[in-house]
Amino acid sequence: MILRGRFTTRRKILLAVIVLILAWLAYAWSVGMAITQGVEFKDMDWNGDGTASRDEIAQSFYAVAVKKTVEGKRHCDLFYWRKNDEQIRVDCRTVFMTGDDKAAGKP
């Protein structure tokens, strides 16, 4: 059996680390951090130089957030700095219904 005997110090530390990671993920998702919003690494070019550096990818874990808006068929992602709410860029796309959506009766 896996959990036989006392709950050892090593298991307590492992449990604490897992709980901390899950708590951070919940917080990151609730504030809209870029890493939890499905942003691909190639799109994490925050300074607009055409390449996503290691530092820019790291910033998506703590410094950049995303606000998602939907206006009809237009879906937009607003990227901004969390420290001062300064806008970085806006990515918009138009989403059309497919035949599957019509068959399922979705609006």
In the chain, where are the structural domains located? Answer: 9-103
The pTM (predicted TM-score) of the whole model is 0.72
pLDDT digits (tens, 9 = 90+) for 37-87: 888 888 898 888 888 899 999 999 999 999 999 998 999 999 999 999 999
Secondary structure of the chain in the HEC alphabet? CCCCCCCCHHHHHHHHHHHHHHHHHHHHHHHCEHHHCCCCHHHCCCCCCCCCCHHHHHHCCCCEEEEEEEECCEEEEEEEECCCCCEEEEEEEECCCCHHHHHCCCC
pLDDT digits (tens, 9 = 90+) for 7-37: 889 989 999 999 999 999 999 999 999 988 8
pLDDT digits (tens, 9 = 90+) for 83-105: 999 999 999 999 987 766 555 45
